[in-house]
Amino acid sequence: MSAVPISWYLLLSAILFGIGAIGALTRRNGIAIFLSVELMLNAANLTLVAYARQLGSHTGQVIVFFVMAVAAAEAAVGLALFIAVFRQRHTIDVNRMNLMRW
Amino acid sequence: METLIFFLFAALAVGSAIVVVTHKSPIYSTLSLVLTLLSMAVLFVLLGAPFLGAVQVLVYAGAIVVLFLFVIMLLNVQKEEAAHVDRGAQLWTAIVGVIAFLGMFWLAFWRTGLRIGGPAPQPLTQEFVALRTVAVELFGTYLLPFEMVGLLLLVAVIGATVAARRPGAPDNSVDDLPVYASGDEPRTDPLRSGPDPRRPSVAEPAYKTKEANV
Amino acid sequence: MLQLLWLIPILPFLGATINGVLGKKLPKPVVTAVALGAPFLSLLLALGCLWEFAHGSEESFELTKYMWTTGDLSIPVAFLLDHLSAVMLFIITFVGFLIHVYSVGYMAHEEGYRRYFAYLNLFMCAMLLLVLGNNYLVMFVGWEGVGLCSYLLIGFYYDQPFPPYAGKKAFIVNRIGDFAFLVGMFALFAHFGSLTYHDVLPKIAANPALVTIPYVGSFSLASFIALCFFIGAMGKSAQIPLYVWLPDAMAGPTPVSALIHAATMVTAGVYMVVRSNVIYQLAPGVSLFVAIIGALTAIFAASIGIAQTDIKKVLAYSTVSQLGYMFLAAGLGAYSAALFHVMTHAFFKALLFLGSGSVIHAMSGDQDMDHMGGLKKWMPSTRLTYLIGAAAIAGVPLLSGFFSKDEILHSAAASGHWLLWLVGLITAGMTAFYMFRSYFLTFEGEFRGTHEQEHHLHESPPSMVVPLWILAIGAIFAGYVGIPKMFSAGRDLNWFHHWLEPVIAVPQGLEAGEHNVGPGLEWALLLITVAIAFAGIFLAWANYGGDKGLARGNAWAARVPVLHRLLLNKWYVDEIYDRLIVRPLAALSRFFWKAVDTFVIDGAINAGAFLTELTGDVGRFTTTGNVRNYALYFFLGVILLFWWVAFG
């Protein structure tokens, strides 16, 4: 099979990361922000795997493995926090969580 | 062939990513994310990491997204109102920022000498793709980080449990909150709750204005 | 005994510390005992050391207590007893002790009794350090110390407005001189790497070329150092133009005026010049300048003294004038004559001041001679001793002042400076005149004061009178150590001159030897001097003696009102200084205060505070509390970070 040059994967990863970043910065819904963050993580994973392929080393894949584990942990804890906050504020609109306002 | 698969699933990934980011309803966003993740898994396989592709499906799409869905159900998150899409500094700054970021990426990328449409990588070998090779790395060189990640997961479990606890007697800051888990209590609109919880019972804000300070 | 040399300055220091720190708690007799005991012990030690030294065979004795080292600079804290410092040591301890005893009586009713004696002991310590040091830096420490004590003692009556002002004036004017002194020391140190006398002075004597090199402009190194040192002496020893502090220093208690501003501190400049005589011998231009300044000061101050009505002011200007004589001698190379005059002057000037103190004490604090008169009736001892002092200073033959003054005038004539001789002669006449004017106005004639004062008049207690008599004996006989050759029929009885010979260097290549005038001329000059002295006394008697009182004096004043006003107001020098120097400086100070300090410096700091406040006021808007904004900042930060890492 004709191989796809790695650079295309990198480009794809960059685009996905950008989309995720916009989402993380723009959405008001806390859950949606989380999802965007997951998207960004995935984009990074893609880059890592692409380079693993390019360089012929498996280190990238191992790192991706860890990243996934950490992402899982982060999602769990983050959602738990959301629940806790929701109990106080009855909303997950992040605009509402502004006690530290000037 | 490979190119075809790549483009197909790349397009799918991008498309569903856009849906994740723009759709009002969180449920739809989550489901789009699943689609994105599956496309990514295919791309992983294409890159010679089938193990990762499998893990991606299992962990990400299978566990994390399910967790998200549970929480959304639990909190009964509603759609965001259309009228509240931010048009403002935040949106435009974010877009410009991201474009700048990507531009920088591209610049860095350009300086590495790698070009779009550059040389293709070595063809995949059986050995490269084999699970055994990954396992050797993982449990060999990276054994310590592996164990630490395990510890991290333990900590995360504990943390999540503690953080999401229902407030009971030891936590005396919220005594008389209604219980929402069953969902049969009158729901307040998440966008407009009752008395503004920002302000505690004291009328005066803690921060004095500048005039009063002088 | 000589090993205890270092104790001589330390004992008064201890006395000062005890009285200064504990004085308030100690009963007055204890304070007195400490205050008198310290200088008395110093005196005994000094006499012992002098005895041992005089009977020894050494030319000098040095005692190093400590090496004061910072970085590259190493100054020995060491004491030197040689022929020169021996003379000064004797004068200081002897006259100093007498004045301490006198002060017990004089200051008996003062509230600041303890403070006074603490300061006075401290002064003794500083002055002794000055003369006993074996290097210029220890001398300078003593120099500054006496300046400090002078300031403290002049401003002793600090609750009145004028004494502190006078004290400040003394200190500030002295500072100008001290600065020049320091510069001279720097130059000396830069060239020789040491400030110790035995390191520097013999080297210069052996090799004059070391210091005759050009240094600044047309000044040689010797000239430069000599000039700088002399400016220091101008300040400390009240020569023109830095004499203005001394008359105002009379605001201090009278014994202070006697000790500090007559006998000891003001002679420090002369001591310094005599100590550095080798440098002055190699700087003929500066030496001549010294002599000219001395002569000018002598006649200038005498002219002011003629018209003064405050008895202490008369004596103050007299001191300035006599100091001028000393520098005249030193400038002409007659170093032993200068020092001789220091010694005789210490006796008769201290005597005169203490006598005036006795008078003021009796007059309940009034110092104005216009209110005095006929005091001989009530104060015979004071009157006699004052008369002796006045005669001594006038140059009445066979008293001490006669010998020393004559030697000075003789050296002026012998070195061919006839104009200086003439100035000295005229000043001698004026001296005789104003001294006896003050005597007649105070002790003769009718009493011109109020009835209350008259009731209070009494002779002073023995603690005050006994020192007067002792000093009077000194004033009479102190001159006999320096009898000039002409009186001794060829035998050289000028013991003082020979005593000082080891200290007067003879630089290589400079012809040694004194100039001399022929014996005939010498006798003629002597007779002229004596005649002038008596003429002055006669004029004083004619105008003020007997019952004439103030009448004729006032008549004269009326005849030359402008001159009289000029003299009475000290030629308006203080006013000139005020206009030319003090006010512009004060204006400059005010400018620095208002414009620079308040506006610029404070303004800069306030601006800093203001900017910080402003930044806070503006910056707080970034804390919106909105999490998304924070996420955005985060993101922007990451961009910057990435940029920095990737593109350095």
Select the residue of A25, A28, A95 nearest C635 (Cβ to Cβ). A25
Angle at C361 between CA C355 and CA C366, to 5 degrees: 105
Q: For chain C, list residues with pLDDT below 50.
A: none
The set of chains that have 3 or more CB pairs under 8 A with B is A, C
pLDDT of C131 = 93
Count other C-beta atoms under 10 Å from residue C158's C-beta. Answer: 12
pLDDT band at B177 (very low <50, low <70, confident <90, very high): low
Q: Does C562 touch chain B (CB under 8 A)?
A: no
Q: Hey, which residues does C77 pair with through a beta bridge?
A: C66
Q: DSSP secondary structure string, C120-171?
A: HHHHHHHHHHHHHBSBHHHHHHHHHHHHHHHHHHHTTSTTSSHHHHHHHHHH
Alpha helices in C308-447 (DSSP H): 311-331, 335-362, 380-394, 400-414, 418-443
Distance of CA C170 to the CA centre of its chain: 10
Sign, CA dihedral C199-C204-C210-C215, equals positive
Residue length of chain C: 648
Q: What tens digit of pLDDT does each residue of B33-65 get?
A: 999 999 999 999 988 889 999 999 999 999 999
Q: Which of C94, C97, C99, C8 lies closest to C49, judged by CA?
A: C8
**What are B's interface residues with C at a Cβ cutoff of 8 A?**
90, 93-94, 97-98, 100-101, 104, 107-108, 210
Measured CB to CB, residues of chain A less than 8 Å from chain C are: 21, 24-26, 28, 33, 94-95, 97-102
DSSP for residue A99: T
Query: Which pLDDT does position C515 carry in this prediction?
Result: 59
Q: How many Cα atoms sit within 13 Å of C426 on the Cβ side?
A: 15
Closest-CA distance of chain A to residue B90, Å: 7
| B214 pLDDT higher than 60 | no
Q: DSSP strand E in C206-308: where?
A: 214-216, 219-220
- Whole-number pLDDT of residue B133: 86
- Answer yes or no: do B104 and C646 touch at CB < 8 A: yes
**What confidence tier does B124 reach under pLDDT thresholds 50, 70, 90?**
confident
The Cα C43–Cα C536 span in angstroms is 38
CA angle C150–C156–C162, rounded 5-degree value = 95
Segments making up each domain of chain B, as ranges? 1-79
Confidence of residue B108 (pLDDT cuts 50, 70, 90): confident
The more confident residue out of B186 and B109 is B109
What three-state secondary structure class fits B209? coil
Domains in chain A: boundaries: 6-96
pLDDT at res. C517: 66
Residue C55, pLDDT score: 86
CATH number, domain A6-96, options 3.40.50.2300, 3.30.450.20, 1.25.40.10, 1.10.287.3510: 1.10.287.3510
pLDDT band for A101, please (50, 70, 90 cuts): low
Mutate one of B101, B198, B207, B214 to test the C interface: name it (highest C CB count within 10 A).
Answer: B101
| Confidence bin at B117 (pLDDT 50/70/90) | low
Q: To the nearest whole angstrom, how far is the Cα of A26 from the nearest Cα of chain C?
A: 7
Instruction: Tell me which chain A residues have a C-beta less than 8 angstroms from the C-beta of C628.
Output: 25-26, 28, 94-95
**What does the pLDDT read at residue C142?**
94
pLDDT at B203: 44
CA separation for the pair C185, C144 (Å, rounded)? 14
Instruction: Give pLDDT, residue B186.
Output: 54
Asked if the model's pLDDT at residue B93 lies above 50, the reply is yes
Q: How many CB atoms lie within 10 A of CB C68?
A: 14
CATH number 1.10.3720.10 is the correct assignment for the domain at B1-79: no
The minimum CA-CA distance between A46 and chain B, rounded to whole Å, is 7
At B118, which amino acid appears? G
Beta carbons of C329 and C408 less than 8 angstroms apart: yes
pLDDT tens readout for residues A27-86: 888 888 899 999 999 999 999 999 888 888 889 999 999 999 999 999 999 999 888 888
Between helices C335-362 and C462-477, what is the axis angle to 10°?
150
Predicted pLDDT of residue C599: 82
